[in-house]
Structure 1
Amino acid sequence: MDFTGKVALVTGGGSGIGRAACAAFARHGAAVVTVDRDATAAEQTAELVREAGAKALAVRADVTSSADVQAYVRTTVEEFGRIDCFVNNAGIGGTVAPVAEYDEADFAAVLAVNVTGAFLGLRYVLPVMIEQGGGAVVNTASVAGLIATPGASAYVASKHAVIGLTKTAAGEVARQGVRINAVCPGPVDTDAMRRLEEQIAPDDPAGLTARNRAAQPTGRYSTPEEVANVVLFLCSDLASNTTGAQYVVDGGRSATGTATPTRG
């Protein structure tokens, strides 16, 4: 996979899968723009990219803000002239509670980041790609966009919506040379996953981690780098006729029906 001369834009690039994707793009020759609502985290990722020998730019943005999204798109084009790869990755997990007890404000917050944020990214990046004659987008969905997880109604609903956006947008822009796919991770070994486990089992998060890992057919969580490898494949010429698809990276979780235990 050779991304020399290409520009990759990654939201949620300050940590986890987003940071791993930025580092992977850098190793394969791309200039990288990392977007995150945490400016310090975004700059830390950008520094990792520079250490890998690639050009980097960090942009602080709230993906739920149309003005901020337009600004990160405009900044990328002004700095590098184009957007070849867009990893529409920013997202939050929300609280864990049964549907009948789920806080309305928390539900709206999850949908704002995970759905509206993804929509706005597509809304303002796609015209750039169409005008330049092509590009590749990967939306970060989840196995929660394919199967249910009790206690995570907002997250599940939002990731189902991301897959719907992926399919719809992919069909709309395929003839303009733009490909749009989704990656669907299962549990990933990230700080966000550890925070979720602490929320579910505050008295024994380590025990919950051990049970969750044991429930995986592979016996472990995916690493951010393993998910990033699939993201790069979908952005590369190796996937030149792949669009509107969902690629699962979950250690067999969805194939066997295992689920992360949650309250509710």
Structure 2
Amino acid sequence: MSGKVALVTGGASGLGRATALTLAEAGAEIVVADLDAAGGKEVAELVGGHFRACDVSDLDANRALVDFAVERCGGVDIAFLNAGVATGCGIGDDFDPALYRRAMGANLDGVVYGAHAVLPALRARGGGSIVATASLAGLTAVPFDPLYAANKHAVVGLARSLGPALAPEGVRFNAICPGFAESRIIDPIREMLSSQHLPIIPAQIVADTVLRILTGDATGECWFIQPGREPEPFRFRNVPGPGEAVTG
């Protein structure tokens, strides 16, 4: 990571904070982005980096964030598009359009807008790497939060599709898919997880996985992270091809 500039969204706490510290320790210069200015500035000070307040659900805010990183650091080599929120509603009587748009704005738009905004900076460096935070909810059904599953499935599909699409430009795009990991998102269900004796993944394990992806050479992969298992790329089954043609 020496000499690399890494942009980390949602960097004020949880997975973003742990990853910012890990990448800095590996030698990267860090730009921390978050709506939590106090937490973001604290992390930036810890890593000797830079902080920029950013609402990732706003396209212009993402462009301004990348401009800030280029101006302060001379360019961007890595983007960890990690910012995200819990949904807070379902699709039935409890459906709330404002909460739905908030979740989709942070969890999906934040990745799409972030990737769009950072691509010119990565191209200017001759290539680079993007890692997006999806979730185990992007690999399986989540009946208790279908809307969260929907936006995380979308991030998984984006990573699998953009990986090969951007490869000719020297830009790699991968995703991480942690289970219940130490972050603010699990705060509303922390008591339930404890009562069911479900282990919470330390943020450092996620950060170490991000570093492994960044120092590798694969693209279009979605790495699952589960307690008691070694993180690795999820092996998707191939889509069935067309069957025998029906005639007559």
With normalisation by structure 1, the TM-score equals 0.82
Distance 1:105 1:96, change over 3 A: closer
Pairing 1:248–2:216 present: no
CA distance in 1, matches of 2:120, 2:159: 16
Equivalent in the alignment of 1:134: 127
Q: How much does 1:99 deviate?
A: 4.2
Equivalent in the alignment of 2:8: 10
CA displacement, residues 141-182 of structure 1 (integer Å, 9 cap, x when unaligned): 000001112221221100001111112221221011111100
Q: Is the 8 A contact 1:197 1:209 kept in 2?
A: yes
**Residue among 194, 207, 213 paired with 1:210:** 194
Q: Is the 8 A contact 1:221 1:251 kept in 2?
A: yes
Structure that is richer in helix per residue? 1
Equivalent in the alignment of 2:209: 230
Q: Is the 8 A contact 1:22 1:49 kept in 2?
A: yes
Written as runs of structure 1 = structure 2, the 5 A alignment for 1:48-63 is 48-50=46-48, 56-63=49-56
**Residue among 200, 218, 226 paired with 1:221:** 200
Q: Which runs of 5+ in 2 are unaligned?
A: 230-248
Equivalent in the alignment of 1:103: 96
CA distance in 2, matches of 1:164, 1:145: 9
Q: How much does 1:210 deviate?
A: 2.3
Pairing 1:74–2:67 present: yes
Equivalent in the alignment of 1:170: 163
Q: Is the 8 A contact 2:89 2:100 kept in 1?
A: no
Residue range with higher mean Cα deviation, 95-104 or 23-32:
95-104
Residue range with higher mean Cα deviation, 162-171 or 28-37:
162-171
CA distance in 2, matches of 1:177, 1:186: 30
**Residue among 172, 189, 196 paired with 1:197:** 189
CA distance in 2, matches of 1:104, 1:158: 15
Supply the AA of the counterpart residue of 2:194.
A
SS in 2 for 1:101: coil
CA distance in 2, matches of 1:100, 1:130: 46
Q: Is the 8 A contact 1:99 1:151 kept in 2?
A: no
Q: How much does 1:211 deviate?
A: 3.3
Q: CA RMSD, aligned part only?
A: 1.6
CA distance in 2, matches of 1:11, 1:232: 15
Supply the AA of the counterpart residue of 1:209.
L
Q: Is the 8 A contact 2:83 2:106 kept in 1?
A: yes
With normalisation by structure 2, the TM-score equals 0.87
Written as runs of structure 1 = structure 2, the 5 A alignment for 1:145-160 is 145-160=138-153
Extract structure 1 runs of 4+ deviating beyond 6 A. none
Written as runs of structure 1 = structure 2, the 5 A alignment for 1:118-133 is 118-133=111-126
Equivalent in the alignment of 2:237: none
Q: Which runs of 5+ in 1 are unaligned?
A: 51-55, 199-204, 254-264
Supply the AA of the counterpart residue of 2:85.
I
